[in-house]
Structure 1
Amino acid sequence: MKIAIGSLNPTKVQAVEKVFFDCTVLPVSVPSDVSNQPLTDDETMRGAINRARHSRIESKADIGIGLEGGVIISGDKLLLCNWGALVYDGGVLVASGAKILLPSEFIPALQDGRELAELMESYTKKKDIRSKEGAIGIFTNGRITRQQMFEHVCELLLGQLEYLKNNNC
């Protein structure tokens, strides 16, 4: 079975490869059709769905997967969020993963259009965090990495697909 992942980001690609280990995984650079830094749960979910659809179409794969990271601004609180989508002949499945607090001092810059990855590099003095441990890895002291977070989302997607197939849905 061919599975397209709508990203070239190593953390996302490796998450899909680990969960869908018995499939051919095709990384494809596709747009999310949402802002570079999604600021709501809904926008982040839409980005994942769009990436899944675009990657499946572009690669002619059996399944398309989209993984999208975003943030949620709720009053004076800032939360990290992440969504995954799986597109197949039967429709679209979605799943969300962990949410944790981020420094509220990031809110104004995010609202001005800066990306979390850029803020994290300034905050930590590390480069390319989005392709490594991610903000979740930094703020969980390495207990959960970005790849592990996306693996969890992929497990949720695969589990839903297996349930539907096993129950003739």
Structure 2
Amino acid sequence: MSFPKRKNIQDQQRQNLVIVGSRNPVKINCTNSGFHQVFEGTYLVEGLNVSSDVEAQPVGDEQTYKGAFNRAKNSKAVFPEADFWVGIEGGVEKFQGEMAAFAWVVVLDRNGKIGKAKTSIFFLPKAIADMVDSGMELGAADDAFFNRENSKENDGAVGILTKGALDRKNYYQQAVILALIPFVKEDLY
């Protein structure tokens, strides 16, 4: 696999700034790891509290994607000096009578290019799905059901349900990397 090389020493010394549209440490860490895994050079990743402009618990692909896009777009509006802006939004969706969980990742760059990817999906236990159906955000439902605190800033539902085999950071990181494809293969996008 080849990654883009910097054109000169001045570019190599320049620190690229990546703004994540959230202060959630999981979202910041998965973005940091994803950028460093894909690109050479120095990337500084910082989080920023911005609105997703969707419901606290997005339902369906469209609303969840919109939340991720809005987080990236709103980050760019607040901090236009950055090089990249990243939005990550977790959502749920009914599929054949069960509730699936997933997330969308959107990456914007200074030139207006957009990268986007979706995580894999997994199905929630009925008891948690019922709590979400009643209006509870997935993170709050996880906390209530598993007697935890702030699981969405730690291992999340995916980490709890897989006994840590896949935590939320690694779950999101793959989608961050996939969303970076248009920036890796610029000649194709």
TM (normalized to structure 1)?
A: 0.92
1:36 is the counterpart of 2:51 = no
Kindly indicate whether the alpha-carbon contact (under 8 Å) linking 2:115 and 2:180 is maintained by their aligned counterparts in 1. Answer: no
Q: CA RMSD in A?
A: 1.5
In structure 2, the residue matched to 1:144 is 166
CA apart distance, 1:106: 3.1
In structure 1, the residue matched to 2:101 is 80
CA distance in 2, matches of 1:112, 1:32: 21
Q: Which runs of 5+ in 2 are unaligned?
A: 1-15, 37-41
Q: Which runs of 5+ in 1 are unaligned?
A: none
Residues 112-165 of structure 1, C-alpha deviations (whole Å, 9 max, x = no match): 32111111011111111101111011112211110001111111112231112x
In structure 1, the residue matched to 2:91 is 70
Kindly indicate whether the alpha-carbon contact (under 8 Å) linking 1:5 and 1:26 is maintained by their aligned counterparts in 2. Answer: yes
Bigger mean CA deviation after superposition, 66-75 or 94-103: 66-75
Q: Percent identity?
A: 27
CA distance in 2, matches of 1:79, 1:168: 32
Amino acid at match of 1:33: D
CA distance in 1, matches of 2:35, 2:55: 28
Amino acid at match of 2:142: M
Q: How many residues align?
A: 167
Bigger Rg, structure 1 or 2:
2
CA distance in 2, matches of 1:107, 1:19: 30
Match of 1:2 among 17, 38, 51: 17
TM (normalized to structure 2)?
A: 0.83
CA apart distance, 1:74: 2.5
